[in-house]
Structure 1
Amino acid sequence: MIFDKATWESFAEGFTVYDVAISSPTRFWLELVEQTDSPHRDPLPRTRFLSVNLKKPLGERFYFHEFGHFRFSQLAFNKGARVEVVAVDLGGHVYCYAADGDQEESRIATQLEGSDLVSAVTGIFRIQESLYAVATDRRIFQRVNPGEWREITKGVGGIPVDKRSLTGDAGMNFGFRSISAFASEDVYAVGGEGDVWHFDGTRWTQLPFPSNELLYTVCCAGDGNVYITGNMGSLWVGRKDRWKRLAQGTFSVPFKDTAWFAGRLWCGSDYGLWVLQDGKLEVPDQPAAVRTACGVIDISPDGTTMLTASPTGAALYDGNKWELLFSNSAFAVPSEKASERQQLGRGGERLTTHDGMQELLDVIGNDGPEASLHALADPAKLDLPALRAHSWLLLVNAISAQSGWAEYSQVVNRLVELGADPDAIEQESGLTPRALAQSMGLPLA
């Protein structure tokens, strides 16, 4: 774990992970967003950009800059002429962390010419040794210098402004959410309703695409193919004017990130990670503790390390071994009554550690279905109110474990019998155990 209790409380407690950026296995950044009770984000939750340097001792490895006006920001690391990590939000606000300091820079100028309307910045991406911010209304901005962005989709060979942008009637029909490239003269940008464009080094061209579904990510992969994900997690493969659907959209949320790593395509969402294997999206082989710490993705510039995170944790993968960086369940607040309770756990030991039933989670995550069913056998030895209060954690762990043991379906059903709620909602992501089971093609009572 990269945190101890004291550093967790100082730097991450009360926040969830929204995005990540990585330089190396020991140097990365986390975008943390404050947990609030307001369903309408009013006032805006605080956004904290946390720098992590694992080469430094525990007391010196963390630094953060916090803002109250950033909304749905994304991070990107760049190791070009200037080594930096840059965050942009929907409103074009920019934060930069570099060797010479960190600061908020001037906003990206997104006002549309001939209109009072502005485009929303939907993401930031590293291509080769440059950073690009993509936006609605089919706009892309290249970072030239600190505080300076150049719009590369305007001018000769650019993308004409659609009249609907100037009247405010564009909606979600078109505009960009993602960009990727094989080279500076072979760039793909996607978004909107089947809105796919290609840049050949001179001119942007709209490509025919066989669906008008909403598109979210694009990845120019190491196998020479372009992969595009769409609404509800659909997956397409192709290039130029030839596209084939590999997976129907069966999830309740789209993928947030796609990346080519260790010779395979990885897709991340609020549900976790999927990997393309033999033409199908499969749940990767992961330790149970890591499985719920995955979602958004970034790859180190040298291509050797993948950093991934869910709202509640983060992990590293080098292509062979997974490393859990942290999970917020490790810092659950102990209950004053926990030491007085007698609850069956591993080997008949007492569950006395947390209201969050950490020991039961440990059994479900590590000891297999037989031990899990044994721990759940006698309701009289369980704290049923605590079990019901932590339905989400218990069920998600058991559902995730089914990728390794089919018998875990019995554990899931037993939890539901004991009162665990399959429709419990995780506040930040909106994910329910039932939706996770659905996304994995698993039955749920």
Structure 2
Amino acid sequence: MRQRIVRAALVAGVAVLALILLLSTCGGGDADDPEGASGPAPTASARAGTGPATRLTAPAAYDTARGWELPDLAGEYALDPVTGLVAHLERSGDAGFRLRTVDVVTGRPGWTGRPFHPLGEPGAVPHLLTLAEDGRQYFVVWSYGTIGGDPLTPASSLVSLDVYDAADGTRKRVEVPWPDAPIVTATGPGVVVSDGKARSAVVAPGTGEVTRVPPARLGHPKGCAPCRTLTEVRGMTPKGLLVSGARGFWVRGSWSSRDRAPAGADPASGVPTAFTPGHVLARWQHRKGAARAATHDIWAVHDVRTGTPLVRVRCHRPAIEPGEYPRAVTSPGGRYLIAGSLAFDLDARTGRCFENPDGTAPLTLTTVTDEGVVYGASGARGPADALAGGGTPVLIDLAAGVPRALAPSVRLPEADVAGVGLFRWTDPADRVHLIAYPRRD
């Protein structure tokens, strides 16, 4: 059949060019093939080189006349600063999806994954994560639901994960039987599936191997009876699972927070609040009788491999409850870390809590660049509200440390990498746009 088409194309001259263009947009392979990706396919929604159609009111550092735009995101996106790729979900066929990538600087298409159908209720959108293991970067798409089942056989519930090598789109599928709605995280060298308590499974992205650690073998620190209550698996580190209990946190077989308390802190008061691939942000109470013990908490960034506190800062109480803490965000190069009203320079070992002297009006910080420029908002209900335009936008140069109010109409970047800011915007038709503006020269 192909030979007949080619012979006809040779006669029809112009049809040859059309055929070549058509073939260049198609890739081979099967949806369940381990390779699982095609070569670069043009993405009509990425307007590389022509500038984005949507011109938001961005901070002055960004040039809104240049960049690129994806005008109809089907759910989440993930940014890998190492490969410089942005991965995003795209709808494909009847209730299906595929994963596409674009270059964060140019907007040019990268590899494209094969179509797949996620688990879950009709209309459910899968989730997207990124992580690194042994020097390789991965994108992970996951969904949860049931399969099978008939009047005589109960359905099986499981977590389905498609793990893509960020370099070339090579894919492997891993299915983890799981009885209830899971919590899935990828802040370490493995994907952690948990129930929000002591039950967990860890998926190695390179091999797809699944490892389970029974709750009784989570390595509770000796002499810490309260640690055996409210036990929760928090994530995976290079040394093993990070686990917390009522009076501390630890990495099984490696270190315990009771031996890693920052100066001035009660060693039995540590609560991990946020976790990044290299660090743990924890809240501590002062030792009894210490100055400001009744009004302030200590916040410390710990090295995830050793538990060593690297930098600490004091903030007013009350702190919000665990489970509601804002996530920690690091700059692409890893020097800066922000969370809520906290900002840390991990190289200089300095930190600051951006709030009034009496603890009122704390800022909500959302984004930090490799140059130490932080974006956020005052009066916002949280990071999501600030990124959606809530509150009054602010800019902080951490070298100076003085917040500067921006115009109320300014939209904040969700991320900044390789000199490009990424902005998300929902249009009046409820379509989600991902827009990239480069920084001005």
Q: TM-score, normalised by structure 1?
A: 0.42
Structure showing greater relative contact order (alpha-carbon pairs closer than 8 Å, 6 or more residues apart): 2
Which one has the bigger helix percentage? 1
Please identify the structure whose Cα radius of gyration is greater: 2
Q: TM-score, normalised by structure 2?
A: 0.42
